[in-house]
Chain A
């Protein structure tokens, strides 16, 4: 009897239980370590109360110093613990990748085994020696796989034991005190000073950060999460870890105060709103709408106290450090750190639309995408719930910035630096394709950055009140040829504000406003189709004009979203140019104002005449005709009074 020994079918090895989600424990430990570090620093800075003297002062000094030392010991222990967990999670990430490779090998080997069995079933006597040789070779490869699998299991055990040993080494106060006194402990003050010195040189920041040891990076993320999380040039994953710890620290601190019965001050309320908003922005990636896309969210900026408590925030969907296509969305007025969740939804929709449009191409195109909602500048805003004029007084100065470019100018510099950071941290060198999308006042900010040489590949301006002072043509925006795109709804009142002349050309008001209307045909951008929105009267300026027509560019079903997705994915040839506006932006405003005068003043008169004609004098032809003439006359007078264009 002929025997061919075929190796046994390989069972699947269960995946590790430690997943990316397990990183939450590292965030917890870092947040705790940061809080303890803050307390220790506070204690070190304090001595005995000022009105203590003599023995009492000495005793108090001693007590506070001892408290600071003990707290520092806890901080050092947590720092070691966080490092151990960080190293363990890093190792597990490697092990998961190795596991994936092993399971791929297993699948291949099992498929080859099945194939061999099929060939054996159909074999003739003459084919047996060849099949025995094939089986021997397969057995050898199966054995090599088993050895690799055992080695992998040993590595996992070793990683776990190393982590447990490191944690056990600092689970007593005495050990914490030793860790705190360790001469090899990272000097985080020196590291933080160096990072501040490197400042806005994002390439230098990135090179320096990558040169640090994991222990140094870990220590700095604990001692200075706000610095690490908000410095352009630090890799996105590390910014996210630092910022997520800071968000958690703040939420726990503020909710803890509330739970203790303390009433939060207005600024603390605002602080909490900033923190909760960015927490929601991250959670939004996992709502039902996007659950099928497995989107990773990264907190790229979190500064809740910036701009008088308005806050700075940025969240990325998809990792911009590895993405093939990255977009930065810059919102406009009324947007601050407390609004990052809503703005994140716009970025999420763009993310989904971009990947969808690539998948819908013929043939489908693969590639990774990252879209970022960035509120990194002081957008003019006021309390939107204000109902009385005096409620607006305290924010009136901020509102006034809407008609000046100061905030946009400063914001443009910040945006440019943020983009530099994205270019520095991309693992393949500069970003392969980076688009900046400015909405509303954010379009003026983006234009400012572009005119100043922002290192992006494409620029989209939507609902723009002006493309910033000194920009007269798309070519002034320093983008590659043909890479300036504009969307403006006819019934978006903010897009009526653009224009280099004021309402009284050649006079003082020319200096007001935010620059040329980029949707003009002569501006030279590609103007794509948008949902033009509904016409409106009176209070509809807010409810329809501002709250709908100005803000729906990212809504599903708005043609603007599809065009923006094509730009982001680098498929800008698919964007259809409508040719742009041939009527001045101010004339849209002028027409609307004329419509308002007609709607509120002329039309009621005409309607009254109509009622008289149709109701009372219907039987008297002469009178009826006279009234009809009067109506025509009134409408003619109106047409004469209100010329087609602004005179």
Chain B
């Protein structure tokens, strides 16, 4: 019995790992530039919604291509801050959540003191930045999906990675 199970398990693992070694595993179906634009579009639509919900007066968001934390693939990611008046942070987070859900973002919050949403393959998180110099500051961060790129796309994401962060908003 154990041998039969081992054979089946190894077969399943081989099936998965052979899929991993193919160039398609994790490969993006769109170009890096198209993916970047998709992420930026999602962010530039979401942040004004949160800004309005907070009544934030100032927004600064940047982003860049970076390799993914596990070292496999690249993603376009970044973040920034929204400057709002000091207030009841729970109520402010509820306002952000409500506005983003109404705007079509999926609420995926798991941690207290955060609003985590996603749309498409882009994940966004909003939370008060309590240690900020300016009271009332909210931090936002976002990540596009980790994808593997090859050819010109790979050259592009690696070159962009070296350029560092560039402004996305305002």
**A359 engages B130 (CB within 8 Å):** yes
- Interchain CB contact (< 8 A) of B2 among A287, A293, A647: A647
**A557 engages B11 (CB within 8 Å):** no
Chain A 626-647: CB-based contact to B (< 8 A → 1; otherwise 0): 0000000000000001100011
- Interchain CB contact (< 8 A) of B125 among A335, A548, A555: A555
Q: How many residues of A contact B (CB 8 A)?
A: 72
Q: How many residues of B contact A (CB 8 A)?
A: 68
**A385 engages B6 (CB within 8 Å):** no
* Distance to closest chain B CB from A432 (angstroms): 19
What CA separation (Å) do A555 and B6 show in the bound complex?
A: 36
Interface centre among B16, B113, B129, B150 (most CB of A within 10 A): B16
* B114 CB within 8 Å of chain A: yes
**A287 engages B62 (CB within 8 Å):** yes
Given contacts A385-B150, A554-B69, contact A292 B134 (CB under 8 A): yes
Chain B 123-146: CB-based contact to A (< 8 A → 1; otherwise 0): 101011111111001011101001
What CA separation (Å) do A503 and B6 show in the bound complex?
A: 8
* Distance to closest chain A CB from B149 (angstroms): 8
**B69 engages A541 (CB within 8 Å):** no
* B61 CB within 8 Å of chain A: yes
**B110 engages A541 (CB within 8 Å):** no
**A288 engages B81 (CB within 8 Å):** yes
* Distance to closest chain B CB from A234 (angstroms): 28
**B26 engages A291 (CB within 8 Å):** no
* B87 CB within 8 Å of chain A: no
Chain A 350-363: CB-based contact to B (< 8 A → 1; otherwise 0): 00100111111000
* A542 CB within 8 Å of chain B: yes
**A546 engages B16 (CB within 8 Å):** no
- Interchain CB contact (< 8 A) of B109 among A385, A557, A594, A641: A557
**B72 engages A334 (CB within 8 Å):** yes
* B51 CB within 8 Å of chain A: no
* A531 CB within 8 Å of chain B: yes
Given contacts A287-B79, A543-B146, contact A292 B6 (CB under 8 A): no
**A342 engages B67 (CB within 8 Å):** yes
For chain A residues 548-593, which have a beta carbon within 8 Å of chain B?
A: 548, 550-552, 554-559, 561-562, 589-590, 592-593
* B8 CB within 8 Å of chain A: yes
For chain B residues 55-81, which have a beta carbon within 8 Å of chain A?
A: 60-62, 66-73, 78-81
Q: Which residues of B contact A647 (CB under 8 A)?
A: 1-2, 5
Q: Which residue of A lies closest to B80 (CB)?
A: A288
What CA separation (Å) do A293 and B125 show in the bound complex?
A: 18
* Distance to closest chain B CB from A436 (angstroms): 18
For chain B residues 30-50, which have a beta carbon within 8 Å of chain A?
A: none
Q: Which residues of B contact A111 (CB under 8 A)?
A: none
- Interchain CB contact (< 8 A) of B78 among A289, A641, A646: A289
**A387 engages B69 (CB within 8 Å):** no
* B9 CB within 8 Å of chain A: yes
What CA separation (Å) do A557 and B116 show in the bound complex?
A: 6
Q: Which residue of A lies closest to B141 (CB)?
A: A556
Q: Which residues of A contact B148 (CB under 8 A)?
A: 384-385
* A283 CB within 8 Å of chain B: yes
* Distance to closest chain B CB from A128 (angstroms): 44
Q: Which residues of B contact A478 (CB under 8 A)?
A: none
- Interchain CB contact (< 8 A) of B22 among A356, A387, A503: A387
* Distance to closest chain B CB from A352 (angstroms): 7
What CA separation (Å) do A210 and B12 show in the bound complex?
A: 60
Q: Which residue of A lies closest to B132 (CB)?
A: A292
Main secondary structure of the interface of B (DSSP, over half): mixed
* Distance to closest chain A CB from B125 (angstroms): 4
* A381 CB within 8 Å of chain B: yes
Main secondary structure of the interface of A (DSSP, over half): helix
Q: Which residues of A contact B20 (CB under 8 A)?
A: 539, 541-542
**B70 engages A334 (CB within 8 Å):** yes
What CA separation (Å) do A599 and B73 show in the bound complex?
A: 26
**A289 engages B141 (CB within 8 Å):** yes
* Distance to closest chain B CB from A303 (angstroms): 19
What CA separation (Å) do A641 and B5 show in the bound complex?
A: 8
Q: Which residues of B contact A503 (CB under 8 A)?
A: 6, 9
Interface centre among B61, B70, B154 (most CB of A within 10 A): B70
Given contacts A504-B6, A561-B111, contact A387 B150 (CB under 8 A): yes
For chain A residues 11-42, which have a beta carbon within 8 Å of chain B?
A: none
* A69 CB within 8 Å of chain B: no
What CA separation (Å) do A387 and B25 show in the bound complex?
A: 9
For chain A residues 317-363, which have a beta carbon within 8 Å of chain B?
A: 333-335, 339, 341-343, 345-346, 349, 352, 355-360
What CA separation (Å) do A597 and B13 show in the bound complex?
A: 10
* B86 CB within 8 Å of chain A: no
**A539 engages B25 (CB within 8 Å):** yes
* Distance to closest chain A CB from B132 (angstroms): 4
What CA separation (Å) do A592 and B152 show in the bound complex?
A: 36
What CA separation (Å) do A343 and B71 show in the bound complex?
A: 10
Q: Which residues of A contact B128 (CB under 8 A)?
A: 356
Q: Which residues of B contact A558 (CB under 8 A)?
A: 110-111
Q: Which residue of B lies closest to A505 (CB)?
A: B2
**A352 engages B73 (CB within 8 Å):** no
What CA separation (Å) do A346 and B108 show in the bound complex?
A: 21
* B19 CB within 8 Å of chain A: yes
* A244 CB within 8 Å of chain B: no
**A557 engages B111 (CB within 8 Å):** yes
* Distance to closest chain B CB from A533 (angstroms): 11
Given contacts A385-B154, A389-B21, A556-B141, contact A596 B16 (CB under 8 A): yes
* B88 CB within 8 Å of chain A: no
* Distance to closest chain A CB from B33 (angstroms): 19
**B71 engages A384 (CB within 8 Å):** yes
**B110 engages A288 (CB within 8 Å):** no
Q: Which residues of A contact B80 (CB under 8 A)?
A: 288-289
5 cross-chain pairs, A with B, having the tightest CB-CB distances, nearest first: A334-B71, A596-B12, A289-B79, A355-B131, A288-B80
Question: Can you spell out 29 A-B residue pairs with CB atoms less than 8 angstroms apart?
Answer: A288-B61, A288-B78, A289-B140, A292-B132, A293-B133, A339-B67, A342-B69, A346-B69, A356-B131, A358-B131, A359-B130, A364-B130, A384-B73, A389-B21, A504-B6, A531-B110, A539-B22, A539-B25, A539-B26, A543-B146, A547-B70, A551-B68, A555-B123, A556-B79, A556-B141, A562-B113, A590-B5, A596-B16, A600-B15
> With A334-B70, A384-B67 given, can you name 5 additional A-B contacts, CB distance below 8 Å?
A289-B78, A292-B139, A387-B150, A554-B69, A593-B9
